[in-house]
Structure 1
């Protein structure tokens, strides 16, 4: 029996219409594991009639893995335009979060030289700055994964390699509360200004 998304905690997010723009949403090479690569909608826009509108707030560039026999998300990383949305993300994920899971959030408005740990919603989030690169590239650096080693793998294989390596991640960063993070965060920048068209 092959595992489907409905067999994992990602099934609820899929049923709620939150898993968007996916390049992977299904089984990986590991038995029982479902991988996701795409965006997670955190707050929907008000719909008029049946038009499909992009979410008002989302976590983009998400890479996640869940197992059929686990009631929580084993691994997740993603981009947030503002640290403030950690709360929204934790509320959306709800009981899919657990102390055993590994969760990495790259926030656009935290000091580029700082890294933090924030306990929220029964889980620990590693809060990291994003240095103009992609979440994927930043994560490979953080986990000491060689890009060239992953090049020959398909998307599912890459998610497996990242999720497996993240499982053993044991670095510690200064612990701050969510409220302290709010006080430390910088202004939210418009991601689309000064970009060549």
Structure 2
């Protein structure tokens, strides 16, 4: 019953198309949060699917990992989305996949591995404004806590949904501005793409 209820909740939010396309993967959370009328997602967003071979589904070719987002029941736009990208160039893929769920007033944060660690940008794309930020070794969750001045200790006792509510609420109030650049300018500025498997024990 719960799964049906949760699915019904998701079907009435901006997550509906993403869910039906099989893009909301490996969820830590994909359910109503502790805030009335809000559904949350923490997991991976599939950006590009591999071709199916003999009806055998293969892992996506491209993911936005460490994704976090919330949606309101009855509303068609995502007010908040954040995630991790190996390369800034994939902002285009995120924007195209999220598509009609984006809005001019939404708060969208992309942490990119090949952006100068001293720089933060705002990049308009598809009618939305993306905050593009560097990431070193930290997680998207920890980076957002730092960005919003949230104390990790204060959130420790909350469940996954409660932590997401706290981050999303802070994101929606965030109004700091950075240098605005175009997507093409970002492509020119970005560094080489790091191999995610380097320095890992074999």
Category of TM-score, reference length = shorter chain = over 0.9
- Give SS of 1:95's match: helix
What's 2:55 paired with?
A: 50
What's 1:158 paired with?
A: 163
Structure 2 unaligned blocks of 5 or more: none
What's 1:148 paired with?
A: 153
Cα deviation digits, residues 29-66 of structure 1 (max 9, x gap):
11111100000000000111232321101100001000
Cα deviation digits, residues 164-191 of structure 1 (max 9, x gap):
1111001110000000000000111101
2:11 equivalent among 6, 9, 19: 6
TM-score, normalised to structure 2, is 0.94
For residues 43-82 of structure 1, the aligned pairs below 5 Å read: 43-82=48-87
TM-score, normalised to structure 1, is 0.97
C-alpha contact (below 8 Å) 2:49/2:59 kept by paired residues: yes
Structure 1 unaligned blocks of 5 or more: none
Shift of 1:98: 0.3
| Correspondence 1:113 to 2:118 | yes
For 1:30 and 1:196, the matched residues in 2 are separated by 42
2:95 equivalent among 90, 94, 101: 90
C-alpha contact (below 8 Å) 2:12/2:75 kept by paired residues: no
What's 2:139 paired with?
A: 134
